[in-house]
Structure 1
């Protein structure tokens, strides 16, 4: 973990800053272990903060003038609200400014820094193209490791680093085989990553940005990558990939971004139902029981039941939430925690209330919708605009996954900052980088 710092400093001496940033983010996210060191006075040094701290330090040393290029734009408002929300929540709940400042520090390290770095480095079409290529290459780098782990039935993170994420053994097996995890918190997180890599590959391949790689046709690499994605055994990621490909196909062939709009607006409608307590969970479970096996239905019902009791608790402090220290969780008369949080939305709603929930999802999705408005779908088949369009679709797919799971990935936050950057940029600046 600490060896990452000199490595990222080396990257900034070896490559141009923009390429060093993209390479550093992807390498660190793919290969650092899921571990944390407690450091007094600052948020814990973990995989998330190591990426942000390392690249920010390298920027200060080797590219400090870039730090002053940031200019606040209205598209940045949701992220700004999300970063200060913990401080307001803590004070509203009487936890004091010190607690609020501490929680805000963690929010800045996890969310604010990746977004800010995306805004100052990837605020042009060339930068977003580099990020799309890096994500695709990162997917290819994971190919042999996915196959290896699916054969040895053991986490490589445990073998190499001696670290375990405590994943239930029952969650490691799906569809008659072992679900790989590699160096991520869960196999579901790996599935979303490989889904995104496949989505980037489709865009890079079909728009002719990459025709051959390592002297092999791009179609060969896409076949290998998609086959590897399949063995990740993540049903949700399969669905997200199909929706993403359909959205890009409709944009390329019929010049419409309707799928992306429906997806984003559908996410916000889902959140509205959850916050208001009107989500039709019983009807959905009844419908699913006629279509899926009992185990799958029971898993969904368990999630809905917990979100129902957690939502009821959150609505008692609806605006700014309960704050930290487990105050948003539900306890029985013996003081035992009887709630399970699976999704990011219910965690944020309980801790930071409706303000936090709206701001965190808007920080991801407002840049996406703004991109659709400024750069309409008729442009997305052009090699210049295909990578940011694919990234926008990837962010929307990831946001939908956050409605069901709670797996924060800084690559998507970085991409959101980059998309916001080109929305805010002047036309003459789009071609820089």
Structure 2
């Protein structure tokens, strides 16, 4: 059971947020609020208000950051209004006023239109589709599921609000990142904070790999998961997260972030970032996470050696594969048996665990195909139960099988579209938007987490924040590209000759038409000399 310190850390996070926003700029403060909250607020602590989602370590940091940003914007707007009053002018808003001409020339005058990017239209459209999908799930899942010893209720109108609010609060870090992490320096801030948080966490990882995963017990009074799952030829660190697998993927993200900073030579300290990359890679190996280690070591050469253009291409290929993974998995395009046999040659126990997961996913995917459009909804209706006793016989590990079982194909494409589309759009629009190595590295970090979503349930606030930062960077680059683009032909100012009547000769005859002079000099005749 969580002790008083665990409760205190959660409920004092608004004070931590206030301190971070007071000492840091807006972008780094936002990243630090969400990252530190994810890493140090304990699991299984929170409160469940009626008609609202659970306020825990996944919601509290994003909610505190949202309130801090709203207060900060209101304070800055007040400062601008007071400065305008002191200068004797009217209080101006963020957008400049446009003077609209009046009088006879008003119809011919063109009011300059504000150039806005269409990139950010993807997010509200996808969110709207997810809301409609929740309504469709209610319409198709009103019937209850009966067993001999239990009854699983149908989806009620009350559950629609719960499904929508849970989805909105889950993507809140994405919305904040898309709004406040648009500038190129904000992308660097995300990378630096990932690397430095990974450095601090690596000390705790090394400690628990040697002394056993006991920090959560010593500080917060409980263990966040099953102890038996954290004995992998030694101790698997869990620190303050929900599972040791999440520690592994976070250390992989931190390792890749340090490699990106070394690639772009951030601050002129390339060798320092390379040493940090090596240290974090060693801590990742000591965390005893085979999957995260393989992902990190596969992407490290891509970040350090491969040209930026190919990095965008690799990110787009990974994103497209993850986006349509259920289709490839169901049609047999993924060589599951070959993957199991390959891992078996390295670690037979891990191969047996993966084989069990794949067989379980086949059964869950078969049940999800019974309602492929909007899924089974909540209450565990998409899981597999014993027909006689009603006992739950399924184990859902991968996020993809959980999402497609609950939300169907519409919900899966919506949720994973928010995560995968930035990598795809960046690869397509790389030249037009002048994206560089920082953006390609951040995309590869996002892709590392996307790969981990296939076997594990590691959809956490950092991945939403990184995806939001990429959405915001694309939006800013798109707006700047549209501003630099020359006006279209119909918007240009054309000078026309006045329509004056032709002058007449003294005899009343019209003048002969003038000969048109070519814009280039005529060729001269060959000389006879």
Is TM more than 0.5 here?
A: yes
Report how far residue 109 of structure 1 moved: 0.8
Q: Distance in 1 between matches of 2:48 and 2:309?
A: 52
Query: Which fold has the larger relative contact order, with Cα–Cα distance below 8 Å and residues 6 or more apart in sequence?
Result: 1
Q: In 2, are the aligned partners of 1:32 and 1:47 still within 8 Å (CA)?
A: yes
Structure 2 stretches lacking a partner, 5+ long: 1-9, 78-93, 96-115, 143-154, 482-529
Tell me: CA distance 1:84–1:145, structure 2 relative to 1, closer, same or farther (3 Å): farther
Report how far residue 29 of structure 1 moved: 1.3
Report how far residue 248 of structure 1 moved: 2.3
Tell me: CA distance 1:8–1:334, structure 2 relative to 1, closer, same or farther (3 Å): same
Q: In 2, are the aligned partners of 1:82 and 1:356 still within 8 Å (CA)?
A: yes
Residue 89 of structure 1 corresponds to which residue in structure 2?
A: 137
Report how far residue 308 of structure 1 moved: 1.3
Tell me: CA distance 1:286–1:416, structure 2 relative to 1, closer, same or farther (3 Å): closer
Residue 211 of structure 2 corresponds to which residue in structure 1?
A: 152
Q: For residue 61 of structure 2, give the secondary structure of its aligned residue in structure 1.
A: helix
With normalisation by structure 1, the TM-score equals 0.88
Q: Distance in 2 between matches of 1:119 and 1:133?
A: 18
Residue 65 of structure 2 corresponds to which residue in structure 1?
A: 55
Residue 136 of structure 1 corresponds to which residue in structure 2?
A: 195
Residue 384 of structure 2 corresponds to which residue in structure 1?
A: 330
Residue 240 of structure 1 corresponds to which residue in structure 2?
A: 295
Say whether 1:316 aligns with 2:375: no
Q: In 1, are the aligned partners of 2:213 and 2:236 still within 8 Å (CA)?
A: no
Residue 100 of structure 1 corresponds to which residue in structure 2?
A: 160
Say whether 1:192 aligns with 2:192: no
Report how far residue 378 of structure 1 moved: 12
Tell me: CA distance 1:295–1:280, structure 2 relative to 1, closer, same or farther (3 Å): same
Q: In 2, are the aligned partners of 1:398 and 1:412 still within 8 Å (CA)?
A: yes
Report how far residue 106 of structure 1 moved: 1.1
Q: Distance in 2 between matches of 1:418 and 1:328?
A: 33
Structure-to-structure mapping, 1:63-78, within 5 angstroms? 63-64=73-74, 73-76=120-123, 77-78=125-126
Q: Distance in 1 between matches of 2:357 and 2:32?
A: 37
Report how far residue 266 of structure 1 moved: 2.6
Say whether 1:390 aligns with 2:444: no
Structure-to-structure mapping, 1:361-380, within 5 angstroms? 361-376=416-431
Q: In 2, are the aligned partners of 1:317 and 1:353 still within 8 Å (CA)?
A: yes
Q: Distance in 2 between matches of 1:301 and 1:205?
A: 38
Q: Distance in 1 between matches of 2:408 and 2:324?
A: 16
Say whether 1:295 aligns with 2:333: no
Q: Distance in 2 between matches of 1:374 and 1:97?
A: 42
Q: Distance in 2 between matches of 1:285 and 1:212?
A: 39
Say whether 1:358 aligns with 2:413: yes
Q: For residue 37 of structure 1, give the secondary structure of its aligned residue in structure 2.
A: coil
Q: Distance in 2 between matches of 1:11 and 1:286?
A: 46
Residue 348 of structure 1 corresponds to which residue in structure 2?
A: 403
Structure-to-structure mapping, 1:151-300, within 5 angstroms? 151-169=210-228, 171-174=229-232, 176-212=233-269, 217-249=272-304, 251-252=306-307, 257-274=312-329, 276=330, 278=332, 283-284=337-338, 287-288=341-342, 291-300=345-354
Tell me: CA distance 1:387–1:308, structure 2 relative to 1, closer, same or farther (3 Å): same
Say whether 1:43 aligns with 2:53: yes
CA RMSD of aligned residues (A): 2.8
Q: Distance in 1 between matches of 2:72 and 2:308?
A: 44
Report how far residue 64 of structure 1 moved: 4.4
Q: In 2, are the aligned partners of 1:181 and 1:187 still within 8 Å (CA)?
A: yes
Q: In 2, are the aligned partners of 1:345 and 1:402 still within 8 Å (CA)?
A: yes
Q: Distance in 2 between matches of 1:286 and 1:130?
A: 39
Q: For residue 58 of structure 2, give the secondary structure of its aligned residue in structure 1.
A: helix
Q: Identify the range of structure 1 (196-205 vs 19-28) with the bigger mean alpha-carbon deviation.
A: 19-28
String of CA shifts for 1:171-219, please: whole Å, max 9, x gaps. Answer: 2122x32111111111111111111111110111132114449xx9333
Report how far residue 284 of structure 1 moved: 3.3
Tell me: CA distance 1:83–1:210, structure 2 relative to 1, closer, same or farther (3 Å): farther
Report how far residue 256 of structure 1 moved: 5.5
Q: How many residues in Structure 1 have an aligned counterpart in Structure 2?
A: 420
Q: Identify the range of structure 1 (285-294 vs 230-239) with the bigger mean alpha-carbon deviation.
A: 285-294
Report how far residue 301 of structure 1 moved: 1.7
With normalisation by structure 2, the TM-score equals 0.73
Q: Distance in 2 between matches of 1:418 and 1:25?
A: 13
Q: In 2, are the aligned partners of 1:277 and 1:312 still within 8 Å (CA)?
A: no
Say whether 1:3 aligns with 2:12: yes
Q: For residue 375 of structure 2, give the secondary structure of its aligned residue in structure 1.
A: coil
Of 430, 448, 459, which residue of structure 2 is paired with 1:408? 459
**Segments of 4+ in structure 1 off by > 6 A?**
65-72, 377-380
Q: In 2, are the aligned partners of 1:124 and 1:429 still within 8 Å (CA)?
A: no
String of CA shifts for 1:2-28, please: whole Å, max 9, x gaps. Answer: 111121123223322222111111211
Compare CA radii of gyration and give the structure with the larger one.
2
Structure 1 stretches lacking a partner, 5+ long: none
Q: For residue 307 of structure 2, give the secondary structure of its aligned residue in structure 1.
A: helix
String of CA shifts for 1:320-369, please: whole Å, max 9, x gaps. Answer: 00000111111112111111101001111110011111111111010111
